Amino acid sequence: MSEREPYPSDLTDERWALIEPAITAWKQERVGRSATGDPGSCDLREIVNAIFYQNRTGCQWRYLPHDLPTWSAVFYYFTLWRQDGLDQRIQELLRCQVREKTGRLEDPSLVVIDTQSVRAAAGVPKTTTGLDAHKKTPGRKRGLAVDVLGLIIGVVVLAGSAHDNAAGTALLDQAAERCGNRLEKALVDQGFKDQVLIHGALLDIAVEVVHRNPADQGKGFVPQPKRWVVEQVNGTLMLHRRLAREYDHRTENAVSRVYWAATANMTRRLTTPAPPWRDTCQELA
């Protein structure tokens, strides 16, 4: 890495060591493909630093600082890694490590599914956006499947006008593919209808709709056991300003943003002591 003043989002040596093997393996595989050749000679650690910087600050591609790689190089690798699925593979490898660190098996037996409506920025194509009629929010709908530790299992980004069922069925497919036969149950809120329950049954996954306690009506947000964790994940993702609004023209890029944000969070989680409140939250989950 070139000599420069570090940014708060930069990878430390310890955090880089967690993802460097996957990136090195990808590069070796890419070089071995005669049709594609060498993907380039950029400092790939600096490329990741630039992606983390943009995710965290929310800046435009052309506004990346000059002491980071050129924006065109960062965009090239961001796109290439998305197309090759490297962003997802790194996130899944780290997820398994975090689960093992807490004494759990690599794959969960239960996931929590929810959607969040996110406003789209000016210039985002109308063909990939829409109006969430229930929440009166124009933009896109981001769906997450997470385990009880708040680790992301699946991500989907759809037009805001899409029904929660479309996101739910897609997330169930992703969770079933990534967790295999170990996945037994999924928790959803009342926005998901029978179509999701039926699709879960076809995948041999019991989908349970978690209803709000009538006594909590009028109290605003009241955490619900186990299902609350997906709300916490949505709040954590909002710390990455690029995810606070939909800026990417392609929904695939918006999905990749979530994977990189999760990667940044998990590298910190694996290399720094857990705060006392996290142990308490995991016990509640």
**Measured between alpha carbons, how far is 88 from 94 in angstroms, rounded to an integer?**
10
Percent of the chain with pLDDT over 90: 76
What does the pLDDT average to over 258-274?
Answer: 93
Domain boundaries, the chain: 13-84, 106-249+272-284
Q: How confident is the model at residue 282 (pLDDT cuts 50, 70, 90)?
A: low
- Which H or E run contains 174? helix 164-179
What does the pLDDT average to over 35-45?
Answer: 68
Q: How far is CA 157 from CA 73, 165, 174, 253, in A?
A: 25, 13, 13, 9
pTM for this predicted structure:
0.89
- How many other C-beta atoms are found inside a 10 Å radius of the C-beta of residue 15? 20
User: In the chain, what's the furthest Cα-to-Cα distance?
Assistant: 64
Q: Which CATH number is 106-249+272-284 given? A: 3.30.420.10
237 sits in the region (left: phi over 0; alpha: psi -120 to 50; else beta) called alpha
Percent of the chain with pLDDT over 70: 87
- DSSP 8-state symbol, 70: P
Q: How confident is the model at residue 24 (pLDDT cuts 50, 70, 90)?
A: very high
Q: How confident is the model at residue 272 (pLDDT cuts 50, 70, 90)?
A: confident
| CB crowding 140-149: b at 16 or more within 10 Å, else e | bbbbbbbbbb
Whether residue 203 contacts residue 182, with contact meaning beta carbons closer than 8 Å, is answered with: no
Query: Please, what is the Cα angle at 109 between 198 and 112, to 5 degrees?
Result: 60
| Backbone phi, psi, residue 158, to 5° | -130, 170
Which residues, in sequence order, are CB contacts of 259 under 8 Å at separation 6+? 87, 88, 90, 91, 152, 155
| CB crowding 213-239: b at 16 or more within 10 Å, else e | eeeeeeeeeeebebbbbbbebbeebee
Q: How confident is the model at residue 280 (pLDDT cuts 50, 70, 90)?
A: low
Instruction: Name the least confident of 82-86, 162-166, 187-191.
Output: 187-191
The alpha carbons of the chain give a radius of gyration, in whole angstroms, of 19
- 148 or 282, higher pLDDT: 148
* Model pLDDT, residue 59: 95
Which residues, in sequence order, are CB contacts of 227 under 8 Å at separation 6+? 112, 114, 187, 189, 210
Q: Does 40 have pLDDT greater than 90?
A: no
* Model pLDDT, residue 191: 86
Paired with 131 in beta bridges are 138
What's the full length of the chain, in residues? 285
* Model pLDDT, residue 273: 76
What is the chain's mean pLDDT, rounded?
89
User: Using one digit for the tens of pLDDT, what is the confidence trace for 107-161?
Assistant: 999 999 999 999 999 889 999 999 988 888 899 999 999 999 999 999 999 999 9
- 273 or 99, higher pLDDT: 99
Q: What 3 state SS string does 201-269 have? A: HHCCCEEEECCCCHHHCCCCCCCCCCCHHHHHHHHHHCCCHHHCCECCCCHHHHHHHHHHHHHHHHHHH
Instruction: Name the least confident of 41-50, 166-175, 269-278.
Output: 269-278
Q: Does 37 have pLDDT greater than 80?
A: no
* Model pLDDT, residue 219: 61
* Model pLDDT, residue 220: 62
* Model pLDDT, residue 21: 97
Q: Does 262 have pLDDT greater than 80?
A: yes
Instruction: Name the least confident of 36-40, 49-53, 153-157.
Output: 36-40
